[in-house]
Amino acid sequence: MRSLTPKAFANPSPGLEHKRQPWVLNAKLPSTLKGLILKGEHLTMAQSLSRLWTHLIFSTKNRFPFLTDKVLRREMHAYLAEMLRKHDCETLIVGGVEDHTHSLFALPRTTAIARVVKEVKRTSSSWIKEARPKLAKFHWQGGYAAFSVSQSNIDEVIRYIENQEQHHKRITFQDEYRAFLKAYAIDFDERYVWD
């Protein structure tokens, strides 16, 4: 690893004098930034890299228990994982219970979460109606919640998703959802969260 030296900041841009503080000058580059090349006074990056782990949660329309059949539920989770992967989302797990799903995946750096969710919901809704004609009224809720997950918490989130059935013996989906929104300091209005 290479430490930043005062020479690298010899001519800072106006207004960036704080970059000359000792804690910045003595910082070492993390190994994950090996593509960072020090050229004169400028830092340039050879390529754009990201790893945005995302915990996605959404429910069925009005939280109707469309997925009570455990075989169908497993098939839906497998289908959702397949659709996420088709959108270049490295998917670690998809799980849930009869009225909602949880997914943990890495969002590609060039893709908006809204686009991925829209396509995954659209295709999976069509798939289940075709696979099970008795579920012609199946719909996902209009909204969703997506939360960032640090690399160090991946295993904990996987266990959380794996244990959804046990978890929901103690807490409703709505209470779980509210708890996530509060934990991530997301302001919400109950009138517009549920559909």
Band of the pLDDT at 17, cuts 50, 70, 90? Answer: very low
Domain boundaries along the sequence of the chain: 6-45, 52-187
Contact 46, 39 (CB under 8 A): no
DSSP 36: E
Q: Is 57 left (phi over 0), alpha (psi -120 to 50) or beta?
A: beta
Q: With a threshold of 0.85, does the pTM exceed it? A: no
pLDDT in tens, 126-135: 999 999 999 9
Q: What angle do CA 161, 183, 140 make, to 5 degrees?
A: 50
Question: What b/e string do you get for 66-94 counting C-beta neighbours within 10 Å, with b at 16 or more?
Answer: bbeeeebbebbbebbbebbeebebebbbb
How are beta strands 90-97 and 145-148 bridged, if at all?
unpaired
Give 52-187's CATH code, choosing from 3.30.70.1290, 3.30.70.240, 3.30.70.890, 3.90.1150.10: 3.30.70.1290
SS (H, E, C) 99-144: CEEEEEEEECCCCCHHHHHHHHHHHHHHHHHHHCHHHCCCCECCCC
pLDDT, tens digit, 9 for 90 and up, residues 157-182: 999 999 999 999 999 999 999 999 99
The rounded percent of the chain whose pLDDT value lies above 90 is 70
